[in-house]
Every structure is written in structure tokens, then in C-alpha cells.
Amino acid sequence: MVDERVNKRYSIEKLKLVKDTEGCSSLEEKNLGMFVHKGEVEPLENGLIDVQGLTNYLCNGSLCKVIKLSDHICKEPKVGIGRSDVTRTSGDTGKLYRVGLQRPASRDGQSRFEVVVEFEEMPLVGSGILRLGGEGKCVSYLAERIPEINISSLEKSENNRFKLYFLTPAVFDKGWIASWMETGEYKGLGFNFLGAVVGKPLYLGGFDIKARKPKIMRKAVPAGSIYNFELKEGTVKSRFEELKNAFHGKSLADESLCSIREGYGIAYLGVGE
């Protein structure tokens, strides 16, 4: 029997934002004036949008139905007992444990999960089988080009506002915001920071294989966060090439705090609200 959640889609609504002149902000006083939504907001946790839907949102602000990652993942806790490193037996008491594992949801009787990984300097061609991850799981791979987000229609936009959509988690020098956002200057472009819609922070660490030690835990802005700006001079149309070269498909994370080669802070350019 096919799980109905596999094909389920969720409607989302664009919030109407208004200027907040009375609230408090962590920004410098000259930049006060955050945008807030007057009313209750129910976020969609771990929502996923397809390439076409994201392209439409970036180019004209239109929304589409999305899916939830939780509908495609099954929780499967396991119970075990610790064993002695010497005898390899479980004679000691008090070592019973429970681990919350997850697996892909079944579709047509089969469990299938696909991920897209961008890589360089690896001679992978065609298809095959390899080991992936710290546990060396066996996976099949297919070498293809990652679908591009075409924003060429922004060349016609007379709007002087633009937004940045973060495809991957970003680490900034000032927590949820970067210094260049506050100062309003980046790679020769002058702008005013209008506001941002961000989710709960992520705490990212990992293990440095080369140094053989854990990486420093960093607080990151989650993927899907959106930052809105207004150009001081010109429009998106007149500054399109500059905007595209500075932001679109580029890592905007703080390079002193994380490795941009690991994919932190990849942003896409979109028309402003």
C-alpha cells in the first residue's frame, strides 16, 4: 500500500510585511525599521521546494505548493545493549540504550532516497557504486549536471529592491547578519538592508579528518532564509550583471569562520518584495 504522504503537497502563503517603527532590533540605530507580520505565523518545518517553484519565486515572487521532508522519512528507533571491549559480551548491567534512527519512507514497496552532491576534482563518469559518508554506506551514483536556476528574466525588472535566498546554511560574523549587510556595501554595490526572514539557528560542527579532531561548533542561519535589500542607485535591470556576479550561486558565508568549499552560504538572487 502506497503511503499518501509521499505525494502530498502543502500550500504556503506569502506574508504581508509592514514597517515596524516601535519594535526593538539588534541592528545599529541608523538601520532600525525591521519588517514584521501583524498576526500569527505557523512555519512549515523542513519544507522542500522544487527547481521550477524556486525559479518562479525568485523571478516574480509567485509561490507554489511544497513537500515536507518528514513525509519522506520514517522514524525507526533501535534498542541495543553495550558490550565489553575485552570480552565482547554484554554481562554488565546498565548498558541498555535506545537510538533514534531514521530511514527513507517506502514507495511502491521500496525505500529510495536521492541526494544531489556538487563536487570538484573527482573523476566520476557515467554511473556506478561507491562508499559514502562516515559509515561507508554503499550507494549507487549517476553523474549529471545540477539543474541551474535561470534568473535571466530579472534583466527586465525595474524594481530597485532585490532579495537573497540562501540555499545552504550560512555562517556570518555577526550571528544572523553579516557586517557587509549592515554597512550596505558589497563588491562595489551600495544598498540598504530592509529586513530578513530567518528560521531557528542551526548548530553545525563535524569532524576534521585531516586534523583528526572535532571542528568548532558554529551557529548558522538555516537554509531557506531570505534577506531583502534596496539599491541606493539604479534598478535590478541596470545593475543586473553586477548583482548576478556578486551574489547569484556564490557563497556569502564568512570565510574566516567556515570553509566555503564545504558549501556554506550559497545564495540565489531574486526580485525584491
> 15-25 b/e with 16+ CB inside 10 Å = b?
eebeebeeeee
The three three-digit cell numbers of residue 171, written as one number: 555562517
Highest mean pLDDT among 60-69, 201-210, 219-228, 252-261: 219-228
Would you place residue 200 in the very low, low, confident or very high pLDDT band (cuts 50, 70, 90)?
confident
Give me the amino acid identity at 32.
Answer: L
Cα-to-chain-centroid distance, residue 111? 25
CA–CA separation, 33 and 64 (whole Å): 29
pLDDT, position 235: 92
pLDDT at site 2:
44
71-114 pLDDT per residue, tens = 888 888 888 888 777 777 776 666 788 888 887 777 666 666 67
pLDDT score for 1: 40
Quick one: pLDDT at residue 17?
60
Q: How far apart are CA 68 and CA 115, in angstroms?
A: 15
Average pLDDT on 40-65 reads: 84
Which pLDDT score is estimated for 97? 83
| CA 182/CA 168 separation, integer angstroms | 21
Least confidently predicted of 105-119, 134-148, 242-256: 105-119
3-state helix, strand, coil in the chain (%, to 5): 15, 35, 50
Q: Nine-digit cell at 260?
A: 566555503
pLDDT at 91: 65
Average pLDDT of the residues of the chain: 81
- Does the pLDDT value for residue 34 go beyond 60? no
Domains within the chain, CATH numbers bracketed: 151-271 (2.60.40.4350)
Residue 32 has pLDDT above 50, yes or no: no
Least confident of 118-122, 127-131, 180-184: 118-122
* Whether residue 33 has pLDDT greater than 70: no
Helix, coil or strand: residue 48: strand
What is the pLDDT confidence band of residue 221, given thresholds at 50, 70 and 90?
Answer: very high
What's the gap between Cα 144 and its chain centre? 21
**Per-residue pLDDT reduced to its tens digit, 153-198:** 999 989 999 999 999 999 998 889 999 998 999 998 999 988 888 8
